[in-house]
Amino acid sequence: MRPSIFNLDRINHIGVVIGTAMQKTVKEIIRHKNYLAHDEFEKCKLGDIIRIEQCHKISRRKFFAVAEMIKRAEYYIDPDTGKELR
């Protein structure tokens, strides 16, 4: 009997956000492998630790989606410039 695609476990990865230049997309590094993941609400920022989960293919290189925000990166706002700093 052939297994159904719905019974297969989805691939999960935990890593750090290393880029947010594209809309609704975050770039994550896991050991030495980088993945593009879909960030529907654009909540991820550089340095955040997230869990991504495999999903349907969204674009040519993007087939993961952000499943959970594990830990936010620590930022503070510079009083002189008003920009977020690490």
Which domains does the chain show, CATH number per domain? 5-78 (2.40.50.140)
Contact 55, 37 (CB under 8 A): no
Per-residue confidence in pLDDT tens, the chain, 86 aa: 445 445 557 788 888 888 888 888 887 766 668 889 999 999 998 889 999 999 999 999 999 999 999 999 887 676 777 777 76
Report which DSSP code applies to 6. Answer: G
**Helix H segments across 1-86?**
none
Contact 46, 18 (CB under 8 A): yes
Prediction pTM value: 0.67
Q: What is the pLDDT of residues 6-27, one digit of tens each?
A: 555 778 888 888 888 888 888 7
